[in-house]
Amino acid sequence: MQTAPVTPQSDQRSSAATAGTQRRVASAAAIIALGNILSRGLGLLRDVVIASTFGATGGTDAFVFARTIPQILYDLLVGTVITAAFVPVFVQHARDERQLWRLVGAIFSLAGLAFVTLAVVLGIFADPLLNVIGRGFSSEEQRQLAVQLMRIALISVIFQGLAGVLTSALYAQNRFVLPAFSTAAYNVGIIVGVLLLAQTLGYTALPVGLIIGALVQFLLQASGLRSFWRAYRPHIDLADPAVRRILSLAGTVAAGLVVTAVGSLIDRNLALRLPEGNLTSMDYATRIIQFPLGIVGLAVSYAILPTLSRLNPGGGGSLGEYRDALAFGIKLVLLLILPSLAIIAALSEPIVALVFQRNAFSPEDTARTAGIFLFYSPQLPFTAVDYLLINAFYARQNARTPVIVGVVCVFIYLIVALSTIGWLGARGLALANAVQNSSHAVILLVLLRRALPGLRLGAALWPFLIRVVPTSAAVALALFLAWPTLSHLGNFTGLLIAVLLALVVYVVALWLLGVSEARIGISVLMHAAARRAKACS
């Protein structure tokens, strides 16, 4: 078989296509990251409002536990199905808008029926369910409160599930703005619910806030799909091959949900057996860890998913282009997440104090949360890359591998957790979580290389890592040494100066070292700023 000769012109076209793909991914990631910055900022404000209003008490522990199952349903069933099933299949139909809206309408109708049924069934059986999974409650009153809060919180999953379908349709059309700001709207709803209703409803204001936020999130996504609503007619077409493919992928994800949910519930039960307030501190520490993960890991993974779906070698795409896009995504993730790890490792306690320490949240709560926070932090680069690797499998319409690896990693978590909780307490559970998520990334990378023997990511990544990792480590050391002096300026001012100096030093160092991904990122930001200035003039 003859192959077309490689000419300078074809090389130039290939390079131009690769550069164009990288800029599109970087631009989309910047939009999603901006939305996530606002979302995470509002999420922290939400937690500050809750902490300031309720503190870290048995009631907040009941809410955290009550929210566990709705959160699992959203994170693993809604959030995962969006990337595992909806987006890759929607992308295949995106060129024909009529066909796309018919498919989206069928999935939207099916999802509405499924989530309403699921919420009703779980609500009915909430009491016996918590009898089985919630044996660590300190009192019957706390358990009954958790049952009540869980039943209310389940309503929010219906709106979030429907919003997830609409988000997938927007992603399939490479429209990232509304999805980027949907979670920010969700957090605003929770804040409003707590501020307006806490005095009259007490702890019930917390799940009511979840419902308000989920409804706002749904309405925001719906506002961007007017052409869909004009074409939408409620219908369920199980004979459609695309619908059946989505259901197959979604079913694989749902099967893995069972074991993953068991692992998460065991984590909550182990935490409930620790002194009161530890579960809440773990939740607050997780929120801070999720801030850079949402800004970086999720932003890049969502931005690159439509591109990887289009370039999937198993679907007629090019292995070389797929490899280049994936390598660029991994480098972009590490470029942004490693300085975040440096800042967190060096300044964990002042960060927690700045965010949470006020009113009912005491210095003792800060010390406990900061210690847990530090044990969560080593997973940052691995988990951020893991999001991208999971989407690399989903882009190939392979949901089975991430699910199986997830099941294996639950057992890894249990081994570490049960080995460390006795002498590390909640910190041991945080360490187990970090080991679990880091192992997931490493295993997926090995399996992806085996699935695509020509992938050869190492050649693209090692020169990059040799420059970026030592630079990040130097930033962490500098922050650690400088903080005793900067702390005299106060937590807010000291942290602001520390973070700004760290980022300036990091960016300048990478620019001087010739890290091309840093230059692309800066170019995208400068271009966006120029467009904004031109629009305002």
Per-residue pLDDT of 296-310, as tens digits, reads: 888 888 888 888 888
Q: Output the pTM of the full model.
A: 0.74
Distance (Å, rounded) from C-alpha 355 to C-alpha 366? Answer: 9
Evaluate if residue 211 carries a pLDDT over 60. Answer: yes
DSSP letters, 184-202, are HHHHHHHHHHHHHHHHHHG
pLDDT in tens, 364-379: 888 888 888 889 988 9
Neighbouring CB atoms inside 10 A of 508's CB total 12
pLDDT value at residue 166? 92
44, pLDDT greater than 60: yes
Count each helix (H run) and each strand (E run) in the chain, helices first. Answer: 24, 0
Q: Average pLDDT of 20-29?
A: 71
Using 50, 70 and 90 to split pLDDT, how confident is the model at 67?
Answer: confident
Instruction: Check residues 316 and 111 and name the one with the higher pLDDT.
Output: 111
- The residue-averaged pLDDT of 415-422 equals 90
Specify the pLDDT at position 519.
Answer: 65
**pLDDT confidence of 19, banded at 50, 70, 90?**
low
Long-range contacts: 60-64, Cβ < 8 Å, 24+?
Answer: 60/203, 60/280, 61/142, 61/272, 61/276, 61/277, 61/279, 61/280, 62/137, 62/142, 62/143, 62/145, 62/146, 62/149, 62/203, 63/146, 63/149, 63/203, 63/206, 63/207, 64/268, 64/279, 64/280, 64/283
**What pLDDT band is residue 199 in, cutting at 50, 70 and 90?**
confident
State the average pLDDT over residues 346-356.
Answer: 85
Q: Is the pLDDT of residue 457 over 50?
A: yes
* Average pLDDT of the segment spanning 489-514: 85
- For the chain, give the percent of residues with pLDDT over 90: 13
Rounded average pLDDT over 140-145: 79
- Per-range mean pLDDT, top range of 76-90, 223-237, 312-326, 516-530: 223-237
The residue among 206 and 13 whose pLDDT is bigger is 206
Average pLDDT, the chain: 81
> Residue 359: pLDDT above 90?
no
**What pLDDT, on the 0 to 100 scale, is given for residue 321?**
79
Residue predicted with more confidence, 421 or 453? 421
Q: Poorest-confidence range of 163-167, 411-415, 447-451?
A: 447-451
What pLDDT does residue 532 have? 47
Residue 4 has pLDDT above 50, yes or no: no
| Tens-digit pLDDT profile for residues 380-389 | 999 999 988 9
- Segment of 126-130, 161-165, 358-362, 455-459 carrying the highest mean pLDDT: 161-165
Least confident stretch, 313-327, 342-356, 427-441, 479-493: 313-327
Predicted pLDDT at 443: 95
Q: What is the pLDDT of residue 442?
A: 93
Q: What is the DSSP string of 198-235?
A: HHHHGGGHHHHHHHHHHHHHHHHHHHT-HHHHHH----
Which pLDDT band, with edges at 50, 70 and 90, does 10 fall under?
Answer: very low
